[in-house]
Amino acid sequence: MIVEAVRLIVTLASTAIGLSVGRAIPGWVNGTPLDPDPWRFWGALVGAGVGYVLGGMLGRLVDRGLEAAPRAVQHTTGPQLFAGAFGVITGVLVGAVLSVPAVLMLPPVVGWPLGGLVVLVLAAFGARVFAARAHELLAPGMSIAQRARATELSGDDNGYLVDSSAAIDGRLLELARSGLMRGSYWVPTFVIDELQAVADAADKSKRRRGRRGLDMLDALRDVPGVGVGVLEDTVPEQNEVDGKLLTLASRFDASLITTDHNLARSAELRGIAVVNPHALAEALRPVVVAGDTVEVRIEKPGSEAGQGIGYLDDGTMVVVADAAGSVGDTVEVEVGNMVRTSVGRMVFARLLP
């Protein structure tokens, strides 16, 4: 339909141009002007033929461009599109005002092209600037979903997909600030909705955790070398949040950031790269080995009779045999063995005489 419409418009315009050219060519026979002038007919006929061919070519190009347009903006958020369109309009208006002196004061052959160039440059400038600041222009004070910056998810480094557990954990922010994990962070809208639901929960501890997750994502936006974007894909074929995350990570070839042990295992089985801030923090802790002697403050009795519980400086739990009577004291212990659990490392030790 669009091809035929473009072809009709171009054909009519080309016919009118051909007719005008034909009128400009005088028709004479033995010094006598012809009426009607045959050049008008031939000009209109040639114009119609050329317009029919060129109109079809242009129509097909326009049709292909319209089909490709949705794919070109599939990773652009609605606020960005709206802000970009507003930026184009603003740039055109400002450019039109600034180009008036050039059009009036310079010769037409120079003034009009110069004015058109000014309008074009300012329209492109307005579109880029307004789209880049859409989160501030359109939604000041709104949720992270509207304020987040979004850049196109493409190229070799497709960034990180953030799970709600990683946002609530909070260590992701320190990893980004330290420079260990810089790049593009993508937060799906359903993850933001999940965090918002937790932040609105009746339980006080849940509300605190949900707000901490939203605050962490907000603070992540201001870290140099880090971009935070929102993925609006809803993944309707999946009902659970974990399934949606795995589908998006596979679809965009992005690394999944989560502290959920079961989700991490499921992602690894699917060949998805996983970053677990908790596991990374565990790996960076100082290592103690069997036979080492350390000082530990016994904080509380253990679950088994006679056991005392203490913690190393890095937070590692130490279970000390026969230390139940030393609660509140700092004792010297010898490391026996270590066990790695889903929540971290646990050290077993014995009191030194």
Using one digit for the tens of pLDDT, what is the confidence trace for 62-96? Answer: 788 777 766 666 556 666 777 788 888 998 999 89
Give the pLDDT of residue 139.
46
Q: Based on the structure, what is the number of domains in the chain?
A: 4
- The answer to whether residue 143 scores a pLDDT higher than 80 is no
My answer on whether 276 and 161 are in the same domain is yes
- The answer to whether residue 223 scores a pLDDT higher than 80 is yes
Containing structural domain, residue 60? 1-72
pLDDT grade for 256, boundaries at 50, 70 and 90: very high
- The answer to whether residue 146 scores a pLDDT higher than 70 is no
Residue 148 belongs to a domain? no
My answer on whether 204 and 272 are in the same domain is yes
Residue 149 belongs to a domain? no
My answer on whether 236 and 171 are in the same domain is yes
- The fraction of the chain above a pLDDT of 90, given in percent, is 6
End residue of a domain, out of 38, 72, 106: 72
Residue 145 belongs to a domain? no
- The answer to whether residue 161 scores a pLDDT higher than 50 is yes
My answer on whether 194 and 245 are in the same domain is yes
End residue of a domain, out of 72, 93, 128: 72
My answer on whether 192 and 265 are in the same domain is yes
What average pLDDT does this structure show over 247-254? 86
pLDDT grade for 137, boundaries at 50, 70 and 90: low
The Cα 332–Cα 292 span in angstroms is: 10
How many angstroms separate the Cα of 7 from the Cα of each of 10, 64, 188? 5, 15, 43
Residue 264 belongs to a domain? yes
My answer on whether 161 and 271 are in the same domain is yes
pLDDT grade for 144, boundaries at 50, 70 and 90: very low
Report the length, in residues, of the chain: 353
The Cα 54–Cα 346 span in angstroms is: 76
Give the pLDDT of residue 304.
86
My answer on whether 243 and 332 are in the same domain is no
Phi and psi torsions of 319, nearest 5°: -100, 115
My answer on whether 175 and 275 are in the same domain is yes
Residue 151 belongs to a domain? no
Residue 219 belongs to a domain? yes
Paired with 161 in beta bridges are: 186, 256
- The answer to whether residue 268 scores a pLDDT higher than 80 is yes
What average pLDDT does this structure show over 229-244? 83
CATH number reported for the structural domain that contains residue 178 in this entry: 3.40.50.1010
CATH number reported for the structural domain that contains residue 315 in this entry: 2.40.50.140
| Locus of tokens 């894909």 | 233
End residue of a domain, out of 42, 72, 102: 72
Report the chain's mean pLDDT, rounded to a whole number. 79
What average pLDDT does this structure show over 341-346? 71
Paired with 230 in beta bridges are: 187
My answer on whether 116 and 62 are in the same domain is no
My answer on whether 177 and 225 are in the same domain is yes
My answer on whether 299 and 313 are in the same domain is yes
My answer on whether 238 and 298 are in the same domain is no
Residue 299 belongs to a domain? yes
79, 138 in Cβ contact below 8 A? Answer: yes
How many angstroms separate the Cα of 221 from the Cα of each of 145, 150, 179, 218, 269? 12, 11, 14, 6, 31
Residue 123 belongs to a domain? yes
pTM of the predicted model as reported, rounded to 2 decimal places: 0.45
Map residue 133 onto helix, strand or coil. coil
